[in-house]
Amino acid sequence: MDIEISQNGSCLIAALSGELDQHMADAIRGRMDYGLLQAGIKNMVFDFTEVSFMDSSGIGMLLNRYKQVRKLGGNLYLTGCNQNLFRLIKLSGLERIVLLRDSIEEAILEANNEK
């Protein structure tokens, strides 16, 4: 798993690749939590375009990140989910609380235009 973290306006963006398992969920958690301490960050965008697998630890990590951004008045966006990831997100119930978007650009534009 590779993690590329960037910032755009109020968004902390994580472009992920490979398999999202317990080990990588822990690494992502630490890096994203640190990023939330930056001034003005309240939204998170996860790009799953290059993710081939995710287990329950990935779902747990996303749920915890969702709770964090909601406390800040923000949202959690997921982009680039393949059919298998979408099925897992739907089965877990995450699709009812996170915002699924087709592209990183769409998620960033929406998040940065929030009032």
Residues 12/49, Cβ–Cβ less than 8 Å: no
Encode pLDDT of 28-86 as tens digits: 888 888 888 877 799 999 999 999 999 999 999 999 999 999 999 999 999 999 999 99
Please count the structural domains in the chain. 1
Domain span at residue 33 reads 2-112
Please state the pTM of the whole predicted model. Answer: 0.93
Encode pLDDT of 11-21 as tens digits: 999 999 999 99
Given this model, what pLDDT does residue 81 score? 96
CA distances to 8, 38, 61, 100, 108 from 79, rounded to whole Å, are 15, 22, 16, 6, 10
Which DSSP letter does residue 96 get? Answer: G
The CATH number for 52's domain is 3.30.750.24
